[in-house]
Amino acid sequence: MVLEQYIQRVEEKLQLLVKRLHHVQSENASLKEEVNQQQQALQQQQLTIQAMEDKLHLSKIAATAQGGATATEDAAFKKEIRNKINEYIKEIDRCIALLNG
């Protein structure tokens, strides 16, 4: 009789463990889905931030071109634009050299 009671307690504990396992697996799946959603939201926010930074940069360049910037900003943007143009020219020269070679 004692052995039967012991086996019954073990079975009850086993059933409790199985229930807990299912609960934890369900919670894990839910948390994984939430992580995926948060990662997608973060990625979307990063894209939005990048787009806004690009717009800000373009508006600063436009303000400089129209003379609406301070002397320091004007000089910095002119230098930046000059550097970009020089980079493009060097890249074009490399392409031409590759085509001729």
Q: What is the pLDDT confidence band of residue 69, given thresholds at 50, 70 and 90? A: low
Helix pair angle (71-100, 2-65), 10° resolution: 100
- Using an 8 Å Cβ cutoff, are 75 and 60 in contact? no
- pLDDT: which is higher, 71 or 36: 36
Mean predicted confidence (pLDDT) in 22-37:
96
What is residue 29's three-state secondary structure? helix
pTM flag (> 0.75): no
- pLDDT: which is higher, 66 or 30: 30
Please choose, from the candidates 34, 30, 84, 95, the residue with its C-alpha nearest in 3D space to the C-alpha of residue 61: 84
End-to-end CA distance of the chain: 95
